Amino acid sequence: MLLQLDFASDIPIYRQIRDQLVLGIADGRLRTGEKLPAIRALANETGVNVMTINKAYRLLKQEGYITTDRRGGTVVASGQETVSLEKTFAELRLPAACAKLAGMPRNDWLELCETVYDSFGGNNDNKLSEVL
């Protein structure tokens, strides 16, 4: 598993790990039932403290993205039960506010949201690569 961690970022490492695994699940690089590296193995692979990996895995488990058991290890959960409209709403507020304060028209914001959302499902009619 390749994680791209930015040790100079203001985003904590555990959060970067969590976010990259969520993105990997959403875009299909990590599939339901796929086994993830053990905490110690991932710590060795990334050069990150074991407790940092443990914190990321605990958060992913709390959110329902992964499951763990002593014999089977850590695997990607089905993900269907992880969607919380309240949490999603709360997490979208800041980027929406930034877009509004930057003068982005509402329709452009909605189109951008659709483009990003569609980039995870195979409906890539919108050109995300042009945006990035």
pLDDT exceeds cutoff 90 at 85: no
pLDDT exceeds cutoff 80 at 131: no
Domains within the chain, CATH numbers bracketed: 13-81 (1.10.10.10), 84-131 (no CATH)
- Mean pLDDT, rounded, for 109-119: 94
Looking at residue 9, its pLDDT comes to 96
**3-state DSSP assignment of residue 129:** helix
DSSP 73-96: EEEE---GGG--HHHHHHHHHHHH
Tokens of 28: 């299909």
pLDDT exceeds cutoff 50 at 8: yes
Tokens of 113: 């949201």
pLDDT exceeds cutoff 60 at 125: no
Nearest alpha-carbon partner for 21 in 10, 37, 8: 37
Looking at residue 81, its pLDDT comes to 58
DSSP for residue 35: B
